Amino acid sequence: MPEILLHYIWEKCLWAEFPQYTTDGKPIEIISVGEHNRNAGPDYSHARIRIDGREWVGNIEIHVHASDWYHHKHHLDRAYDNVILHVVRDADKQVFNSQGEAIPQCALQYPNDHDYLSGLLADAMRMDSAESRIGCAKQLLDDPLLLTEGWRRLLLRKRLDCKCASIKRLLDITHGSWEHAFYISLARNFGFHTNSVPFEELAIATPLSALRKHRDNLFQLTAILLGQSGLPIKDADLAREYEFLRTKFSLMPIDGSLWKLGRIRPQNSPERRIRQFANLLHRSEFLFSKVIEINDIKALAELFAQEGLSSASVDILLINTVIPYKYAYAQMVAAGSHDKKDKEPVMAIQLMEQIPAEDNTVIRQWKVLGQQVRNAADSQALLHLYQNYCQHHECVNCEVGYRIFFEQRQLELPFLQ
């Protein structure tokens, strides 16, 4: 069963005719299923339920298998500490939050008729607009293996090559400084999509050389970055320190109106992210050099881990900044080597395979179509396929579209390199 179907059953209250119980036998009354969250964090917020007569208000997380809670590292993420019910199809494991507290689980009861569920899946897909966005949705539902492993590997390479092109443009701007280029890219990705543009502008407007001179002083680093953001500085001491440093380095802040402040959770607020970025620069000098030296995914994650930054957020930084830079640098080394075969940037791809898959609306669409998304290598490949082929109707240049086109004409499919 695709997870999106379980979401649909939950959201449309198709469980209503069935009594629901926790896995330890307590009766559940579902008062409100909550609001669907399409951003990071639990699937539904502001839900209301009663368990054994006691009312709870909070978040709902939905998985096909209870053990997915651990595969997605929710047990390490404080954003999931307010989950009041873990709704699953298969309660194969008890789950706990980051505080070590057991999360109540419900193996959801609903009409379990194959034809009925097949019809629901079609409705769920239409609700999520998967069919309108992915032209071969029906064919992939019938035969998920149309999207081959070889095509996925090539798509991942293509995505990393696109990121390499962006890195090379930054290297041109920074006169070949990998450290400076990495600093700008890292700042952009600290904006986590919502505020990536102002974060990048902040890094460009704030020379790395100025930050390095005050790297040992977290207060001064925070003052510079908060001041340069153009946002109001609430702390009077920080504001005074920024004015001093602004004069010292002839700094000019960016336009504070660039930042998106609405509908952002407190832990994702620009000020909080800027403070975390300042703390990262304070703790680690020459980050790019350390990133290149380390080839252990846990050690790389530890470089960026800090209080208030979830493991999922660290994974995003690894996927979008660290691994592309390792890949680009390895390509540069390979280009200058006579023995290119032994210096191909395979390490970056192997690291990507050790990171959990991303969870967003695009990836959920692929899951609806029966696609396995085992790790970040898969999710990055599928994101590239969606953004560069499906959205632009480039079916003729896609291996899946190519296969469908020729199989319909009963022609032998040529071997694809």
What tokens were used for 177? Answer: 């400084």
Average pLDDT over residues 31-44: 81
What tokens were used for 277? Answer: 């970025």
Give CA–CA dist 66/75, Å, rounded: 12
Mean pLDDT of the chain: 88
| Percentage of the residues of the chain whose pLDDT score is greater than 70 | 89
pLDDT for residue 130: 44
Residue indicated by tokens 């992915």:
134
What tokens were used for 312? Answer: 């999922």
Q: Report in angstroms the alpha-carbon separations of 136 from 140, 142, 402.
A: 6, 10, 11
Closest CA to 181 of 303, 292, 272, 301: 292
Long-range CB pairs of 96-99, under 8 A, 24+ apart, other chains included: none
Beta-carbon neighbour count of residue 367 at 10 Å?
19
pLDDT band at 413 (very low <50, low <70, confident <90, very high): very low
pLDDT in tens, 244-302: 999 999 999 999 989 988 767 777 899 999 999 999 999 988 999 999 999 999 999 99
Per DSSP, what are the bridge partners of residue 340?
Answer: none
Per DSSP, what are the bridge partners of residue 25?
Answer: none
Lowest mean pLDDT among 84-88, 118-122, 222-226, 365-369: 118-122
Average pLDDT over residues 354-367: 89
Rg (CA), the chain: 24
Average pLDDT over residues 201-226: 96
pLDDT for residue 15: 86
**pLDDT of residue 99 exceeding 80:** yes
More confident residue, 381 or 338: 381
pLDDT for residue 417: 44
Q: Which amino acid does the sequence have at 106? A: C
Give CA–CA dist 59/73, Å, rounded: 17
3-state helix, strand, coil in the chain (%, to 5): 55, 10, 35
| Percentage of the residues of the chain whose pLDDT score is greater than 90 | 60
Query: Is 6 within 8 Å of 117 (Cβ atoms)?
Result: no
Give CA–CA dist 327/347, Å, rounded: 8
pLDDT in tens, 130-173: 445 788 887 888 888 999 999 999 999 999 999 999 999 999 99
Query: Is 180 within 8 Å of 281 (Cβ atoms)?
Result: no
